[in-house]
Amino acid sequence: MVRKPATLKDVAALANVSRATAARALNSYGYVGDETAQKVQAAAEKLGYRGNRLAQALRSGQLPIVGCILGDIQNPFFARIAHDIEILARECGHNLVIGSSKEELDQEVSLLASLRSLSIRGFIVAPTSADNNAHLKDLIAENVPLVLVDRVAEGVDCDSVVVDNEGGARKAVEYLIAMGHHRIGLLQDDMRIFTSRERMSGYRAALAAGAIAPDDRMVSVSQSTVEHAVDATIRLFRQKSPPTALFTVDSLMTQGALLAFRSMGISIPHDVSLIGFDDFNLATFTDPQITVVSQPVSEIGRAAARLLFDRLSGKSDPPQKIRFETKLIVRGSVSRHSAG
């Protein structure tokens, strides 16, 4: 037979006090004499009473919990960041609540509001928009510790951890140009996202440096999912003069492009060269292996968590802006293109 959990009424009866007195003693509000408070506490312990201590601690910010709102956590990049943040949080005696915005601003705002109502102590956020940031500015105004990860947001002055997205994209496209490519496709995400803007800037800068005029027909916009990337790649390569090379802005899009090429009978690197931003496990299992712009994903989450816990421990230095470099890892998915 399962024993019913003890109630406040049970505690009050055992301690021989009213329920109101028992509530005051257990939740530390109002006046209760020391002797009475001890009787109530002893009764609660004897009965194994838990009551609303969790809710009380959450409201008062006493529980060691931090919040993390990332993009789509099905993306291996964000999954790894969440994993590393959680490990360091545990090392620091904290629990982590993770939410996924799925790259929707409304969902990010709603998640943040829900977590704030629990008086969570600090946040790590990958903002979905580079511009619409009132909800993040509110956290700064209220002195809630905030670290931005992977992306920064205009007008939000706080700690951040990003990579050199523009430089990484430029290195990739410059390499394609050096290999003789001039019709270089770009598979990109929504431009309201900081990383997408930066990687587009790097793409354009490389074209300009190579005296190649930008061509909107070479750019295809996709949501950051494998399925959407398949469709976007097929649209790009059904043109009369398709790209001879493709640069994709994240690993899910790279995987989508690979599936699209397979379905269209396009061979890598014989028919098209491919470089993806962000390394991923399957990149070395394909034939050929995929050339990528690698970012130090194993360092990003831990760096963001360290910044947050520094703030929670009372550090009051000016905001730190950490920016990691990227590395072009040349494998077998790019071949030299000869005009004609």
State the pLDDT at residue 175. 98
What's the CATH number where 33 sits? 1.10.260.40
Residue 251: φ, ψ to 5°: -70, -30
Which of 16-30, 75-89, 257-271 is the least confident region?
16-30
User: Are 127 and 189 contained in the same domain?
Assistant: no
- Which pLDDT tens digit goes with each residue over 26-45? 766 567 788 888 888 888 88
User: Which domain covers residue 184, as residue numbers?
Assistant: 165-295
- Pair (229, 318) in one structural domain: no
Work out how many domains the chain is built from and give that number: 3
Q: Is residue 127 part of a domain?
A: yes
Look at residue 329 and tell me if it is in a domain: no
- Choosing from 40, 60, 80, the residue where a domain stops is 60
Query: Of 16, 34, 60, which residue sits at a domain end?
Result: 60
The answer to whether the beta carbons of residues 171 and 200 sit under 8 Å apart is no
> Does 71 map to a domain?
yes
Q: Is the pLDDT of residue 322 over 80?
A: yes
CB of 94 closer than 8 Å to CB of 66: yes
CA 296, CA 198: separation in Å to the nearest integer?
17
| Domain match, 158 and 301 both | yes
Same domain, 285 and 195: yes
Closest C-alpha among 295, 201, 285 to residue 250: 295
The SS3 of residue 259 is helix
Mean pLDDT of 91-118: 91
- Based on the fold, state whether residues 107 and 90 are members of the same structural domain: yes
Which residue type is seen at 315? Answer: K
Q: Say if residue 74 is in the same domain as residue 141.
A: yes
The pLDDT of residue 178 is 97
CATH classification at residue 117 = 3.40.50.2300
Q: What is the DSSP letter of 30?
A: S
Which tens digit of pLDDT belongs to each residue from 150-192? 999 999 999 999 999 999 999 999 999 999 999 999 999 988 8
Statement to judge: residues 116 and 154 lie in one domain = yes
pTM: 0.80
Print burial letters for 225-256: b (CB count within 10 Å at least 16), e (below 16). Answer: bbebbbebbbebbeeeebbbbbbbbbbbbbbb
